[in-house]
Amino acid sequence: MKLLVGIVGLPNVGKSTLFNALLKKQIANVANYPFCTIDPNVGVIEVPDKRLPVLAKIVNTQKIIPAVIEFYDIAGLVKGASKGEGLGNKFLSHIREVSVIVHVVRLFEDGDVIHVSNKVNPKGDIETVESELMIADLETLSKQQEPRSNASKEEKEQYEVIKIVKEKLNQGIPVRNLNLTKENEQSINRLNLLTMKPVIYLFNVSEKQLENKEETEKKINEWLSVIASKAKRSQKEIASAPPAPRNDGSPYLYLNAKLETDVLTFFEEEQKEYLKQFNLEETGLNRLIKKAYETLGLISFLTAGEKEVRAWTIERGTFAPQAAAVIHTDFEKHFIKADIITYDDFVKADGWIKAKELGKVLSAGKEYVMKEGDVVDFKVGV
């Protein structure tokens, strides 16, 4: 499955610098003025996975295919974007394509890099972007017509959900914070509302702020707490059914985008030493991918054979036949069973043959729920 991540934020917050660092090459056009990015830059990045080379050595293959993640560098939003200010409408349409929004927020002070509102105001910046997305959603909802008297029960129920969502948006509450039931979410999925998408806040900090971890985290949590307090709501008028699973905690990361770029010039061991200075164990790319997977509820399973070693992305809770369909759609229909072993057991046994001799391989049927790091050999009748 595709994982599409959209990088958004106000102009000059470091989105393109971050994008260049994440892609490990200078793709985005970094410039010190708003709207230097007109079309979204798209980059397909391999998901770092240290398990794959280990498996490749065991099964004696040279071909390694990691999972991938697509990053969209979407040009800066400004106040009034929902009404077409700047290049707003075009940018908003690009956001509709992504699975998760990474909202880059500027914390660093730099007199040489202008701010679109002439001051660094993280809380205000977050609220500006969020407001524009909510206004865009309200415009989408305003186009929805009240169902006729002879409309189906489903159509009438859907309209009731639309009215509730519209009311809450007018109160400044994004759709993702409404704790809608799974059924209610599905009923409005077709509208592709922007504020229904999960958000990861990514704070771009200075090196000094990066070193002063405790103070930086305290400030970030204070800003997010104020924003979250505005989004507290009652579920009474939504439905009595249990809410759908959702990461409601405003997940966030912070990094120095320039430092991420600098690190790319170092060898792996040098990177580790450099990052240690800032009490970091891995690069922002790795941390961002993990946070995106966590936010969307994704995991990876692995296949290992002489032809290739590969990582596949699925949703947590996926059954074996549906996981097989990620490899080939026919595999779900013709699924027989799956030989499954944990990555650690596979490595200890040095491959399939000994693993089976040791009884470490599970013969799983259609009801098996896939787990992170499962090494799988699907048996299908085709």
Identify the pLDDT of residue 341.
Answer: 98
Query: Region 8-36: what's the mean pLDDT?
Result: 66
Beta strands 199-204 and 252-255, pairing class: parallel
Among 54-68, 100-114, 252-266, 345-359, name the one with the lowest average pLDDT.
100-114
Q: How many helices and strands, by DSSP H and E, does the chain display?
A: 15, 12
Name the pLDDT band for 112 (thresholds 50, 70, 90). Answer: low
- Binding-site residues, in ranges, read 12-17
Among 66-75, 225-234, 236-245, 278-287, name the one with the lowest average pLDDT.
236-245
215-250 tens-digit pLDDT? 999 989 888 887 776 555 433 444 444 433 333 356
Name the pLDDT band for 166 (thresholds 50, 70, 90). Answer: very high
Name the pLDDT band for 108 (thresholds 50, 70, 90). Answer: confident
Name the pLDDT band for 115 (thresholds 50, 70, 90). Answer: low
Residue with tokens 């985008």: 257
Query: Region 161-174: what's the mean pLDDT?
Result: 92
Residue 145 predicted with pLDDT over 50? yes
Residue 11 predicted with pLDDT over 90? no
Name the pLDDT band for 33 (thresholds 50, 70, 90). Answer: very low
Query: Region 201-211: what's the mean pLDDT?
Result: 91
Residue 35 predicted with pLDDT over 70? no
- Binding-site residues for ATP, in ranges, read 12-17
Name the pLDDT band for 165 (thresholds 50, 70, 90). Answer: very high
CA distances from 352 to 75, 211, 271, 291, 347 (A): 48, 46, 35, 32, 9
Name the pLDDT band for 43 (thresholds 50, 70, 90). Answer: confident
174-196 tens-digit pLDDT? 999 888 888 999 999 989 999 99
pLDDT top residue among 88 and 165: 165
- Share the mean pLDDT of the chain: 83
DSSP 322-353: HHHHHH-HHHHHTEEEEEEEEHHHHHHHTSHH
Query: Region 2-14: what's the mean pLDDT?
Result: 85
Name the pLDDT band for 347 (thresholds 50, 70, 90). Answer: very high
Q: Which of 196, 286, 213, 292 is nearest to 252 (CA)?
A: 292
Identify the pLDDT of residue 175.
Answer: 93
Is-contact 260 163, C-beta < 8 A? no
Q: What element of type H or E holds 313?
A: strand 309-315
Can you list the domains of the chain with their CATH numbers?
Answer: 4-49+67-137+195-296 (3.40.50.300), 317-380 (3.10.20.30)
∠330-69-129 over CA atoms, to 5°?
125
Model confidence, pTM: 0.81
Residue 378 predicted with pLDDT over 80? yes
pLDDT top residue among 205 and 48: 205
Residue 31 predicted with pLDDT over 90? no
Identify the pLDDT of residue 64.
Answer: 93
Q: What element of type H or E holds 5?
A: strand 4-8
Tell me if residue 251 falls in helix, strand or coil. Answer: coil
Name the pLDDT band for 258 (thresholds 50, 70, 90). Answer: confident
Identify the pLDDT of residue 335.
Answer: 97
Query: Region 257-271: what's the mean pLDDT?
Result: 85
Among 79-93, 121-135, 329-343, name the one with the lowest average pLDDT.
79-93
